[in-house]
C-alpha cells in the first residue's frame, strides 16, 4: 500500500521546550489514522508541521510525496486541513464561506459550481447554503468547516480535534462523514482525545509529552500493551482503600483507576490470590476486556513513572 505520509525523526522545539520529540511513523493511503493524546501532548504541533504551517526543528517528513521543509506551499495546496477553531466567517453565508475557501485554491466557474453542489449534498448542507454562518448551531458549523476543507477534493485531509465542543449527535454524524470519506478513497488523519472516536480508526498513535509511546490498530493495542488482564471491581466505599492496601504489599497490581462506581485494576498474570482475597471481603470481581482507555492510561502512566 502507498504511503500518504512518511515521518522520520521529526522534532519541533520552542526554546528549550520539546513540543514534538523525534517521532517517526507513516500513514498508509486510504486509512483513517488517529492521534490520541491529552492536551499539550504534541498532536496539533505535529499536524501543523505536516500541513506546511510550522517548520520542523529537525527531522524529515513527506506528505503525498512532497517534502514539508522544501515545499510547504505545495503541501498546503495538496491537502485538506480543518483546525480546531473551524476558521469560518460569521457574517458570510454557508455558500460564501465555501466560495472563499475555493478562491484560495484557485477553483472558480463551472468546476466550482459542480464541486460545491456535490460537497453540500455530501455534508448535508444543501438546505442551509444561504444561511449566515453566525446563526448556525455548532454541529452545522463543524460540517461547513469540513466542506471548506474538502472543496478542492484533496486525497488527504487533516482534522485537528474536529468534534471538540459539539454535541454527541453531531459527533456521530461527523464520524459518519469520515467513514464515507474513507470509502471514497481519501486518507484521513485525525486527532482526538475521545476514546470512542479513535476506536474507529484503522491505526492509532498514542502521543505523550511530544513522543509516540505506542502505535497499532485499536484491537492490537488492547491485546498486546497491558501486562495482564483488567479486573473490574465493585465493593462499596471501602474498596479503594482495600485496593491501595493490597498494592503496597503485593506486586500483582500494576495500576488502579476509578471506573464508574468501581475500579479497573490491571494485574500481572491471573492474580488469583488477589481476586480470592477481594471476594472474601465481599467485593464483586470480574475479568473484563481491556478498553482503549485502559491502554491509554497505562501507557501514559508508564511513561511518567
List the domain boundaries for the chain. Answer: 3-222, 227-289
**Among candidates 196, 152, 147, which has minimal Cα distance to 172?**
196
pLDDT at residue 157, as a whole number: 98
pLDDT per residue as tens, the chain (305 positions): 599 999 999 999 999 999 999 999 999 999 999 999 888 899 999 999 999 999 999 999 999 999 999 999 999 999 999 988 778 999 999 999 999 999 998 999 999 999 999 999 999 999 999 999 999 998 999 999 999 999 999 999 999 989 887 888 888 999 999 999 999 999 999 998 888 889 999 999 999 999 999 999 999 999 999 989 999 999 877 888 889 888 888 888 989 998 888 999 999 888 888 899 889 889 999 999 999 989 998 888 887 76
pLDDT at residue 1, as a whole number: 54
pLDDT at residue 12, as a whole number: 98
The top-level CATH class assigned to 3-222 is alpha beta
Span 74-99, pLDDT tens digits: 999 999 999 887 789 999 999 999 99
Pick the CATH number of 227-289 from 3.40.50, 3.30.70, 1.10.1060, 1.10.3470: 3.30.70
As a whole number of angstroms, the distance between CA 77 and CA 231 comes to 49
Span 254-265, pLDDT tens digits: 899 988 889 999
pTM of the predicted structure, to 2 decimals: 0.89
pLDDT at residue 305, as a whole number: 60
Amino acid at each position: 500500500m502507498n504511503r500518504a505520509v512518511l515521518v522520520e525523526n521529526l522534532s519541533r522545539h520552542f526554546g528549550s521546550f520539546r513540543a514534538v520529540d523525534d517521532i517517526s511513523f507513516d500513514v498508509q493511503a486510504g486509512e483513517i489514522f488517529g492521534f490520541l493524546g491529552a492536551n499539550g501532548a504534541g498532536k496539533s504541533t505535529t499536524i501543523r508541521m505536516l500541513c506546511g504551517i510550522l517548520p520542523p526543528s529537525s527531522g524529515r517528513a513527506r506528505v503525498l510525496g512532497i517534502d514539508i521543509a522544501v515545499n510547504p506551499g505545495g503541501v498546503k495546496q495538496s491537502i485538506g486541513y480543518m483546525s480546531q477553531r473551524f476558521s469560518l466567517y460569521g457574517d458570510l453565508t454557508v455558500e460564501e464561506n465555501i466560495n472563499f475557501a475555493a478562491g484560495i485554491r484557485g477553483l472558480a466557474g463551472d468546476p466550482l459550481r459542480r464541486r460545491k453542489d456535490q460537497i453540500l449534498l455530501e455534508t448535508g448542507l444543501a438546505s442551509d447554503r444561504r444561511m449566515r454562518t453566525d446563526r448556525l448551531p455548532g454541529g452545522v458549523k463543524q460540517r461547513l468547516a469540513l466542506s471548506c476543507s474538502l472543496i478542492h477534493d484533496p486525497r488527504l485531509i487533516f482534522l485537528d480535534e474536529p468534534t471538540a465542543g459539539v454535541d454527541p449527535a453531531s459527533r456521530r454524524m461527523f464520524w459518519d462523514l469520515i467513514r464515507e470519506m474513507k470509502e471514497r478513497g481519501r486518507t484521513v488523519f485525525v486527532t482526538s482525545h475521545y476514546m470512542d472516536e479513535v476506536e474507529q480508526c484503522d491505526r492509532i498513535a498514542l502521543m505523550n509529552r511530544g513522543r509516540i509511546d505506542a502505535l497499532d490498530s485499536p484491537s492490537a493495542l488492547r491485546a498486546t500493551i497491558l501486562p495482564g488482564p483488567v479486573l473490574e471491581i465493585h465493593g462499596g466505599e471501602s474498596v479503594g482503600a482495600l485496593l491501595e492496601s493490597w498494592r503496597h504489599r503485593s506486586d500483582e497490581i500494576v495500576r488502579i483507576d476509578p471506573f464508574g462506581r468501581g475500579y479497573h485494576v490491571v494485574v500481572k498474570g491471573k492474580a488469583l490470590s488477589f481476586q480470592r482475597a477481594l471476594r472474601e471481603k465481599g467485593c464483586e470481581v470480574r475479568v473484563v476486556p481491556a478498553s482503549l482507555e485502559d491502554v491509554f492510561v497505562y501507557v501514559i502512566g508508564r511513561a511518567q513513572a
